[in-house]
Structure 1
């Protein structure tokens, strides 16, 4: 992708938000990819979430290389908060930025990533807008690239309650969208990218999905989230897990939105009430909710499984099903590195 493929954006700083946790193995490649961005006006804001390896030393050495004004350590750095709280802390510390870009510690950005994101966001004007894109899925050595799934045409509300298409390693928000997320109250167990996508969608913001890949998404053999599997492998894994974790997270997202529904668009509130009734009511309410044409997943087979789970949903939500993470739980490094939905 050449620089000519994206229009010139005003020379304003983007806040790159990086939460680190025992990332010494792959951090240097990601940091170097920031330096290679064709949009050079960025400031890296980072906080460490309790690393015990050389991550902090790597970050501070990068600050000496790039300049202290371009690599700023958060005053909250150090205590372990967990991945979602750590990223949202960074976001709330930087809501004055022209745009914010989430970054995972173990991927590699392609040079045009920021420029292309800002080009698309500029078309939204002052309206809240969230940009996300496809990725090249690569192994831990950045080899064996495969293109991630397309999602253009399937974004928005209430589809965002069924599936996250806004992978955090590609996500960039303008100031208006970042302010919406910063002012929201996220539910336990969510992840920062999915919650950002949900809030911006529900509040009437624009979701801009770029079919051009912008990131080398590094997959590890030990990833708990983000491991590459062919479709039949993903389907079998979903069937083995069952619906409990999936439906519980949907209910948490829906109930969190209901608690702050005054900020939602009238259309989103109407759709959300249908979803709420389907999650808490009987079979007739579930069928009514599923008649909403936007309440669906991307592919036919994914949608078929989702509808089956939604229709057979029972009131099992009083106790937390096994496998639903909470913010207070410690997490392994691999889980922290890959939070894509």
Structure 2
């Protein structure tokens, strides 16, 4: 039987206040780096924010650290909630559903990274230049750091434009880089609780592009993405990461991910633009088609990955029935 949070272990704050940015912080046994991350949030040049920490059942000092910062910041700036204990993606989406009406913008936040001081400001500068009625999603490249905070590299730099045709077969940015507006939050909050998704960041990219929103990929890395043994999802930038992706494709993992994503997208079909409904149908047909028609349908659908090796991998996955 799943353990329940006690009232003493999970104090809820007073009614949530509206802020320009709701920072959705997902925590689970993150005591090692959590204080550093919280300090980087406090140091943001954009100060109209509220942190909603959704803890997924931590057994280390994570909650104690959150309580300390809640006392320091006030319970109207840091809220602590009980997560659903169904994995990181479900935890982020539950936090979004809980707060979707309480801010103008929202930012996913991991527990162990470090934000540059202008992280929120950069996202807001782009988003505020577009109509609020349009779903907007800002994301970026990341700077990779080790467990001590030392620079060890960067995530891949993507040049091709973000689109639904790309989102169907590739996630281009981590959720820790994302900032999105209330229109995007309302869309994402429609995700049924019982529908599994691969990751909240890939899902956000799929839904915002699919439903006619705008996505901006910032080449400047305003996130220090910590690489360590407990990372749930890595940077996907090294040769080793590429070999891991190849192994996953050969084992059918990529195909399984597509199965999950397409099932989830089916619940949003009525929200997709007509063009994206066409792309989705062609892509689905290509996956089911005999080999002699598969590549033709893939070409008609227009789906693509960001790099030449990625697109060659897409062709290879089609040929060996791993799409």
Preserved contact between residue 18 and residue 104 of structure 1 (Cα < 8 Å): yes
Q: Partner residue of 1:174? A: 181
What residue ranges of structure 1 are gaps of 5+ in the alignment? 1-10, 316-341
Q: Partner residue of 1:100? A: 106
Q: Secondary structure at the match of 2:313?
A: helix
TM-score by length of 1: 0.83
Q: Partner residue of 1:4? A: none
Which aligned segments of 4 or more residues in structure 1 are displaced greater than 3 angstroms?
Answer: 221-224
Distance in 1, matches of 2:237 and 2:221, equals: 19
Preserved contact between residue 151 and residue 165 of structure 1 (Cα < 8 Å): yes
Preserved contact between residue 154 and residue 297 of structure 1 (Cα < 8 Å): no
Q: Cα deviations across residues 301-331 of structure 1 (Å, max 9, x unaligned)? A: 111012110232169xxxxxxxxxxxxxxxx
Q: Cα deviations across residues 97-155 of structure 1 (Å, max 9, x unaligned)? A: 20100000000000000011011111221211100011111111110342222224341
Distance in 1, matches of 2:284 and 2:119, equals: 37
Q: Partner residue of 2:304? A: 296
Q: Secondary structure at the match of 2:130?
A: coil
Q: Secondary structure at the match of 1:98?
A: strand
Q: Partner residue of 1:249? A: 257
Q: Secondary structure at the match of 2:139?
A: strand
Pairing 1:86–2:91 present: yes
Q: Partner residue of 2:126? A: 120
TM-score by length of 2: 0.88
Distance in 1, matches of 2:209 and 2:160, equals: 14
Q: Cα deviations across residues 60-108 of structure 1 (Å, max 9, x unaligned)? A: 100111111110122xx15523111111010001111201000000000
Match of 1:47 among 45, 54, 64: 54
Match of 2:71 among 59, 64, 71: 64
- TM-fit CA distance, 1:46: 1.0
Preserved contact between residue 282 and residue 301 of structure 2 (Cα < 8 Å): no
Q: Map 1:217-296 to 2 at 5 A.
A: 217-223=225-231, 225-226=233-234, 230-231=238-239, 233-241=240-248, 242-292=250-300, 294-296=302-304
Distance in 2, matches of 1:130 and 1:227, equals: 20
Q: Aligned-residue CA RMSD in angstroms?
A: 2.0
Match of 2:144 among 131, 137, 157: 137
Q: Partner residue of 1:16? A: 23
Distance in 2, matches of 1:138 and 1:304, equals: 30
Which stretch of the first structure deviates more once superposed, 275-284 or 35-44? 275-284
Q: Secondary structure at the match of 1:291?
A: helix
Q: Cα deviations across residues 171-222 of structure 1 (Å, max 9, x unaligned)? A: 1110001111111337425111111111111101001111111110000045
Preserved contact between residue 34 and residue 109 of structure 1 (Cα < 8 Å): yes
Distance in 2, matches of 1:185 and 1:260, equals: 10
CA 210–294 in structure 1, closer or farther in 2 if over 3 Å, else same? farther
